[in-house]
């Protein structure tokens, strides 16, 4: 089974400035702002999160597993909720993801990659050099290096990136 892992940083900056109460960040205010009605329709988890980030002007970083399970359509409608509740419901719909707020950034990641609070993205490389090489070739070498180095971090039921 092939799987693609994508790290996406969605950064949408506020169009207007407003005074935030002391002790409350702009992101926290946005996440807790009441929404009377919201309809979400997306083809993937990534698309759903991107739509939410754009609609509510949120800065969001996403680590996404691009397998079949996370490419299914989602259609939800909400009344009298907050953007944070919408995100929570979307993540429950796709299962296996969690989020946290750190500063002015909301982070979403798959729980399956957590092993000792590290993901394969956190693993240092001893060395990786690219000179006079096509990007695709360098990418394949990097994927192979990461696959070999991080096999012990990935649970057995999570497919690794496979190239052909």
Query: Each residue of 59-84: b (16+ CB within 10 Å) or e?
Result: bbbbbbbbeeebeeebeeebeeebbb
The per-residue pLDDT for range 141-164, each reduced to its tens digit, is: 888 887 777 665 554 444 545 554
Q: Phi-psi region for residue 100, left (φ > 0), alpha (ψ -120 to 50) or beta?
A: beta
pLDDT in tens, 88-129: 999 998 878 889 998 889 999 887 655 445 555 666 777 888
Residue at token pair 């992101």:
27
Q: Identify the pLDDT of residue 80.
A: 96
Mean pLDDT of the residues in the chain: 76
Token pair of 32 as six digits: 């807790």
pLDDT beyond 90 at 38: yes
DSSP line for 8-38? EEE----SS--PPPTT--HHHHHHTS-EEEE
Question: For 69-79, how does the pLDDT look when each residue is reduced to its tens digit (9 = 90+)?
Answer: 667 888 999 99
Task: Check if the beta carbon of residue 62 is closer than 8 Å to that of residue 92.
Answer: no
Tell me how far apart the alpha carbons of residues 29 and 12 are, in angstroms, rounded to a whole number.
15
- Which pLDDT score is estimated for 130? 87
Determine how many CB atoms are found less than 10 A away from the CB of residue 90: 21
CATH class of 5-113: alpha beta
Res. 62 pLDDT band, cuts 50 70 90: confident
Q: Where are the domains of the chain?
A: 5-113, 114-164
Region label for 71, one of left (φ > 0), alpha (ψ between -120 and 50) or beta (otherwise)? alpha
């Amino acid at each position: 089974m092939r799987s693609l892992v994508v790290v996406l940083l969605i950064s949408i900056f506020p169009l207007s400035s407003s005074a935030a109460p002391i002790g409350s960040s702009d992101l926290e205010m946005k996440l807790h702002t009441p929404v009377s009605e919201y309809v979400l329709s997306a083809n993937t988890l990534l698309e759903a999160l991107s739509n939410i980030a754009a609609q509510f002007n949120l800065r969001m970083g996403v680590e996404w597993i691009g397998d079949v399970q996370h490419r299914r359509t989602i259609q939800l409608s909400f009344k009298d909720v907050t953007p944070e509740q919408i995100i929570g419901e979307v993540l429950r719909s796709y299962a296996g993801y969690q989020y946290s707020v750190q500063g002015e950034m909301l982070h979403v990641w798959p729980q399956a990659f957590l092993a000792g609070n590290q993901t394969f993205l956190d693993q240092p490389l001893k060395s990786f050099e690219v000179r006079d090489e096509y990007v695709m070739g360098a990418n394949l070498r990097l994927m192979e290096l990461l696959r070999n180095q991080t096999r012990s971090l990935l649970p057995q039921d999570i497919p690794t990136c496979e190239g052909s």
